[in-house]
Amino acid sequence: MTAPRVERPGLFYPKLPATWWLRNANYFRFMLRELSSVFIALFLVVFLVQLHRLSQGPGAYAAYLETLRAPGWIIFHVVALAFALYHSVTWFNLTGVVQVVRLGERQVPPRLVAGASFALWAVVSVVLLWFLLRG
Amino acid sequence: MTEETMTLEVTRYRPGHDREPRTQSFTVPYRTDWVVLDALNHIKDRIDGTLSYRWSCRMGVCGSCGMMVNGVPKLTCAAFLRDYRPGPIRVEPLANFPVIRDLVIALDDFMEKLRRVKPWIIRAVEKPVSDGEYLQTPAQLDAYKQFSMCINCMLCYAACPVYGLEPAFLGPAAIALAYRYNLDSRDEGYRLREPVLSEAVGVWECTFVGECSVVCPKGVDPAAAIQRSKLAGATDWLLSMIMPWAGRR
Amino acid sequence: MPGDDGYQHDLLVIGGGGAGLRAAIAAAEESNRLSIAVLSKVYPMRSHTVSAEGGTAAVMRENDSLDTHAKDTIFGSDFLADQDVVEVFVKEAPGEVIQLEHWGCPWSRDPDGRVSVRPFGGMTVNRTLYAADKTGFHMLHALFQTSLKYEKITRYDEWFATSLLIEDGKVCGVTALNLHDGQMRPIVAKAVIMCTGGAGRIFPFTTNAAIKTGDGMALAYRAGVALKDMEFVQYHPTGLPGTGILITEAARGEGGHLKNKDGYRYLQDYGLGPPTDTPVHRKMELGPRDILSRCHIQEHQKGRTFDGPYGHYVHLDLRHLGEKLIDKNLPFVRELARNYVGIDPVHEPIPVRPVVHYMMGGISTDITGKTSLNGLYAAGEAACVSINGANRLGSNSLTELLVFGARAGRAAARHALERPALRSNPLAQLASDERRRLDQRFLRADGREKIADIREEMQKALESGCGIYRDRATMEGACQTLRKLRERFAHISLADKDAVFNTELIAALELECTLDVAETVARSALAREESRGSHTRTDFPKRDDARFLKHSLAYQTPDGPRIEYLPVTITRWPPEERKY
Ligand SMILES: Cc1cc2nc3c(=O)[nH]c(=O)nc-3n(C[C@H](O)[C@H](O)[C@H](O)COP(=O)(O)OP(=O)(O)OC[C@H]3O[C@@H](n4cnc5c(N)ncnc54)[C@H](O)[C@@H]3O)c2cc1C
Ligand code: SF4
Ligand code: FES
């Protein structure tokens, strides 16, 4: 990608240790967020397989659902959900930072912007749930 | 009466003598109104004249005295001994930078990046001085003011693991300054800075760790500048895809 | 960084502060044929200009006029400013601050979008532009960032100039030490501009940054150039006890009050009244700095100041201004007070006391920045072009950097264009001589004097001899101490013999400079037997125009400075009694 930097003699070039992300809570949270994508990706694979089984007919689908009832799978889903929530929360927190909203002369405080995003998220989730559970 | 003291564990590195940095301990008097920099000055004046570090204004505005204090990037002229009681305090050169000697890091890389983002007012046509100032309302000033507060202290680079892993990354302060000029109502240089910002090692290299804004002593919030530059770049790109004919800003 | 062809330029600016950067840009705009270099012992944006808080003066509004600005400046200088220079200064000031606006300086604004102006000490109208209370910071960064666009400007960052190269009575560059590798090199140039700033560090208690050690003044002085009006040292009335960190005059411009330990606005007892709620130009807290600092001392003598671990102090009360105004126009004051004395000015008064702030004197130059030495120019606090006379008005200095930085840049550029190319061989010889001098003096020697000891004693001598109030006996004492310290300095010992980033060697070089400068201050002060502006003698309490309406010039001799005098230029404002 980029040419490696030319090291000048005499200078000491520190290397970032592999455990850098354990040094401070913020780095750790950052790593968690990066890790969350892995779980979300895994969940999507599972979900795609599920769709595939559905296309193979009710029998195959029922068998698949049965497998998913195993405790291992349930734990996986709980963990994946937790990561998805974590990812979403951090993402929505960002909206306040990224999107500057101005009302006339004044800037709307980032917290409020993030708050509004959360509210919107909650409303959409409730609507979706209602839609799903109704059926 | 015995004087209260505190111990500083200071990183030493003498090129030509040391293969890599080592640590040396010094005991200094403890004063409630002393900052870490006062302790270093005490060491230099009274204990070991060979200790090298940078400082000047001792009031948090020249940006010289950044170091790692107990692992966190700090301006040592604003880090009070009393906040690290009972010690010891670990004082190291700013992380992620090559070390010239002891606590002195090399800054050339940043200086080059600073020039690359063109941190000056760019205009198609300059207004002659005799025609007076460009009018700028307080609200237009507020729009970029925060990002103009950067003292180039490099604490944000020391906090940025992305910079640690990829030294070519433009980095928080340089991007914040580019963004500062992009936001200035007097400036028309967005188009010229955009290619630098959207390079592979520009804003997209940032994965939003956010620690740069946490350590920034001047409330610049470089992380926000980076994310907003991404948004601006992306919207811009999108617009150019949908409406290639529309003049971009 | 320079190429292999050595370190040759047409124009060399020593110092990357406000004056140096303005000079470099002016030279670059004067001609694109010039190769220009800026050499600085710290990265330019670390220069001391960065600390300036309050503002920069220029006539911007209809209710103001060039003549009033000139008159205020001359009056403030106690008639020791050269009036032709002041007239040029006030005339070119507005263009310069607008130029800086065009270069991106974020001046504070009025609702209609014009740059705002605030009141300042000794000025009769609001004419001080500001960028909240970080004016110098914003000016310096705007200048530095703008300078980056000129490819003709080469920078030598963290190089320390140790001497002027002179051949046949002409300046040909400097010798400089590169901190990064410890090498001494000749930097050859047809013209050199000294923009090395002030020398507040000759005193123990100062608002000045560590780098303000008068290096350029000393270099010029050693090359035979006179230092002008060195006895005039400005005390700022409001520094934080202990650290000396400045609380800007803008705090009073915005309406802050000075109160003694009884909560009384004591300035009214010294002819500065009557006290009013809203600030009145040139009255009470907006009186000039020299007078306010003297009032503090008298108040102390009457036993009406507070006593603290760092000596006596009074209160600067901002509480009545309210949090909103403080946060808008004085946020840095709030930050500094909170950090360094643990006080929130919104709720408590700030402890303050007079503190050494500014050198009115410096390298003697003419109105274009030229010195008596062919090829040498100077601007900024290092220079004395004579707009400040015996007392500088707050916010005139930043403007001075711009106006006279630009003037010196242009004049030096023209000089460089006319002068034939220099041969660098003999100059390389001069540089190796300089290297040898340093080696013998500092790196091989094994004396036993410590830098810190000599520095402390020098500072103490100046504080006791050349403080706010002076008299013959104490000044003579200071002169003697300084002579002795010079002898002791010859036996200095350095623990650090390394080449790379040897800050101890730099400290020794700086100490050598401060010793030179300190001596010129003490000797010039002793010779001036009158009281004028910041120079107040208890044994000669009156201004004496018959004998001393003139500039002092300090020349180096082996026995210390020789003092001569130069008449003051008076154009339209004949001297009168200075009363506020
Ligand atoms: C705390 C404070 C607040 C102030 N506020 C105001 C204000 O509000 N308004 C106002 O008008 N004035 C103010 N002043 C005064 C004003 O800031 C200074 O007079 C001015 O900034 C000096 O600028 P300069 O360019 O001459 O020097 P500096 O900014 O001091 O720069 C000197 C330069 O010279 C270089 N240098 C020095 N020696 C060497 C050497 N040997 N070799 C190489 N390089 C060298 C340094 O690296 C530096 O780059 C204030 C001063 C202080 C201390
Ligand atoms: S953005 Fe903040 S931390 Fe980074 S260099 Fe600027 S002032 Fe320092
Ligand atoms: S010494 Fe200037 S920022 Fe600390």
Looking at the structure, tell me whether residues B117 and B238 fall in a common domain. yes
B154 CA closest ligand 2 atom index: 5
Looking at the structure, tell me whether residues C172 and C59 fall in a common domain. yes
Looking at the structure, tell me whether residues B53 and B126 fall in a common domain. no
Report whether residue B150 contacts ligand 2, using a CB cutoff of 6 Å.
Answer: yes
Tell me the mean pLDDT in the region A100-106.
69
Q: Is the dihedral of CA C102, C103, C104, C106 positive or negative?
A: negative
C479 token code pair? 């002169």
Q: Is the Cβ of C502 closer than 8 Å to some Cβ of chain B? A: yes
| Structural domain count of chain C | 2
Report whether residue B156 contacts ligand 2, using a CB cutoff of 6 Å.
Answer: yes
More reliable by pLDDT, C152 or A121: C152
Please give the mean pLDDT across all residues of chain C: 95
Residue C441 pLDDT:
85
Looking at the structure, tell me whether residues C345 and C395 fall in a common domain. no
For B139-178, the pLDDT digits (tens) are 999 999 999 999 999 999 999 999 999 999 999 999 999 9
Tell me the mean pLDDT in the region C516-539.
97
C19 token code pair? 């004056």
DSSP class of residue C17? S
For B8-65, the pLDDT digits (tens) are 999 999 998 999 999 999 999 999 999 999 999 999 999 999 999 999 999 999 999 9
Confidence class of residue B246 from pLDDT cuts 50, 70 and 90?
Answer: low
More reliable by pLDDT, C510 or B208: C510
Range of the domain at C313: 235-357
The single-letter code of the amino acid at C358 is Y
Q: Is residue C49 part of a domain?
A: yes
Looking at the structure, tell me whether residues C151 and C190 fall in a common domain. yes
Residue C474 pLDDT:
95
The chains in contact with chain B, meaning 3 or more Cβ pairs closer than 8 Å, are A, C
Residues in Cβ contact with A28 at an 8 Å cutoff, skipping those fewer than 6 apart: A21, A22
Confidence class of residue B248 from pLDDT cuts 50, 70 and 90?
Answer: very low
B176 CA closest ligand 2 atom index: 1
Range of the domain at B63: 5-105
pLDDT of B223 above 50: yes
| Burial class of residue B16, CB neighbours in 10 A (0-12, 13-18, 19+) | exposed
Query: Cα separation of C174 and C10, whole Å?
Result: 13
Give the residue from B11, B12, B14, B208 with the most A CB atoms within 10 Å of its CB, the best one to mutate: B208
For C247-286, the pLDDT digits (tens) are 999 999 999 999 999 999 999 999 998 999 889 999 999 9
Residue B245 pLDDT:
65
B93 token code pair? 């050169």
Looking at the structure, tell me whether residues C411 and C330 fall in a common domain. no
% of chain C residues with pLDDT over 70:
99
For C80-128, the pLDDT digits (tens) are 999 999 999 999 999 999 999 999 999 999 999 999 999 999 999 999 9
Task: Among C357, C374, C408, identify where a domain stops.
Answer: C357
Tell me the mean pLDDT in the region A100-122.
78
Helices (runs of H) and strands (runs of E) counted in chain A: 4, 2
A23-133: CATH, from 1.20.1300.10, 3.20.20.70, 1.10.1270.20, 2.60.40.1890: 1.20.1300.10
Nearest to B210 among A13, A16, A26 (CB): A26
Query: Which positions in chain A touch B221 (Cβ < 8 Å)?
Result: 97
Confidence class of residue A121 from pLDDT cuts 50, 70 and 90?
Answer: confident
- Contact of C28 with C153, CB cutoff 8 Å: yes
- Contact of B159 with B206, CB cutoff 8 Å: no
* Residue B28, SS3 per DSSP: strand
Nearest to B227 among A1, A23, A94 (CB): A94
Looking at the structure, tell me whether residues C341 and C369 fall in a common domain. no
Q: Is residue B138 part of a domain?
A: yes
For A43-77, the pLDDT digits (tens) are 899 889 888 888 888 888 888 888 888 898 899 88
pLDDT of A86 above 60: yes
Place of tokens 């949908």: B242
Looking at the structure, tell me whether residues C47 and C178 fall in a common domain. yes
Domain ranges of chain A: 23-133
Residue C552 half-sphere exposure toward CB, CA atoms < 13 A: 26
| Structural domain count of chain B | 2
Query: Which positions in chain B touch A107 (Cβ < 8 Å)?
Result: 142
Task: Among C402, C427, C452, identify where a domain stops.
Answer: C427
Taking CA atoms, C322 is separated from A134, B21, C129, C326, in Å, by 58, 50, 22, 6
Q: Whose CA is nearest to atom 2 of ligand 1?
A: C52
Instruction: Name residue C449's beta-bridge partners.
Output: C492
pLDDT of A20 above 90: no
ipTM of the complex as predicted: 0.95
Q: Is residue C257 part of a domain?
A: yes
Task: Among B105, B125, B158, identify where a domain stops.
Answer: B105
C340 token code pair? 């360094």
Query: Which positions in chain B touch A30 (Cβ < 8 Å)?
Result: 161, 207-211
A126 token code pair? 């409730």
Q: Kindly report whether the global pTM for this prediction surpasses the value 0.90.
A: yes
Q: Is the Cβ of C58 closer than 8 Å to some Cβ of chain B? A: no
Q: Which residue is closest to B52 within chain C, CA to CA? A: C503
Mutate to test the pocket of ligand 2, among B72, B74, B151 (most ligand atoms within 8 A of CB): B151
Report whether residue C55 contacts ligand 1, using a CB cutoff of 6 Å.
Answer: yes
- Contact of B224 with B230, CB cutoff 8 Å: no
Q: Is residue C479 part of a domain?
A: no
Distance of residue C268 Cα from the nearest chain B Cα, in angstroms: 32
Q: How far apart are the first and last CA of chain B?
A: 70
Query: Which positions in chain B touch A1 (Cβ < 8 Å)?
Result: 168, 200-201
Task: Among C407, C427, C447, identify where a domain stops.
Answer: C427
- Contact of C464 with C478, CB cutoff 8 Å: yes
CATH number for C365: 3.50.50.60
Q: Whose CA is nearest to atom 37 of ligand 1?
A: C196
Query: Cα separation of C163 and C437, whole Å?
Result: 11
Confidence class of residue B3 from pLDDT cuts 50, 70 and 90?
Answer: confident
% of chain C residues with pLDDT over 90:
92
Tell me the mean pLDDT in the region C155-162.
98
Query: Cα separation of A67 and A70, whole Å?
Result: 6
Catalytic-role residue among C46, C48, C236, C300: C236
Minimum mean pLDDT among A47-56, B89-98, C330-339, C490-499: which range?
Answer: A47-56
Query: Cα separation of C503 and C213, whole Å?
Result: 14
Q: Is residue B224 part of a domain?
A: yes
Residue B249 pLDDT:
46
Report whether residue C135 contacts ligand 1, using a CB cutoff of 6 Å.
Answer: yes
CA C12 to chain centre: 20
For B97-138, the pLDDT digits (tens) are 999 999 999 999 999 999 999 999 999 999 999 999 999 999
Residue C2 pLDDT:
43
Q: Is residue B249 part of a domain?
A: no
For C48-74, the pLDDT digits (tens) are 999 999 999 999 999 999 999 999 999
For residue B124, the CA-to-ligand 3 centroid distance in Å is: 37
For residue C203, the CA-to-ligand 1 centroid distance in Å is: 16
Q: Compute φ and ψ for C304, nearest 5 degrees.
A: -110, 15
Looking at the structure, tell me whether residues B89 and B207 fall in a common domain. no
Confidence class of residue C390 from pLDDT cuts 50, 70 and 90?
Answer: very high
Q: Is residue B247 part of a domain?
A: no
Nearest to A100 among B95, B214, B228 (CB): B228
Looking at the structure, tell me whether residues B56 and B113 fall in a common domain. no
Query: Cα separation of C11 and C416, whole Å?
Result: 6
Residue B234 pLDDT:
82
- Contact of B225 with B119, CB cutoff 8 Å: no
H or E stretch at A103: strand A102-103
Distance of residue C272 Cα from the nearest chain B Cα, in angstroms: 32
The chains in contact with chain A, meaning 3 or more Cβ pairs closer than 8 Å, are B
Looking at the structure, tell me whether residues C263 and C220 fall in a common domain. no
Residue C6 pLDDT:
64
B157 CA closest ligand 2 atom index: 4
pLDDT of A17 above 90: no
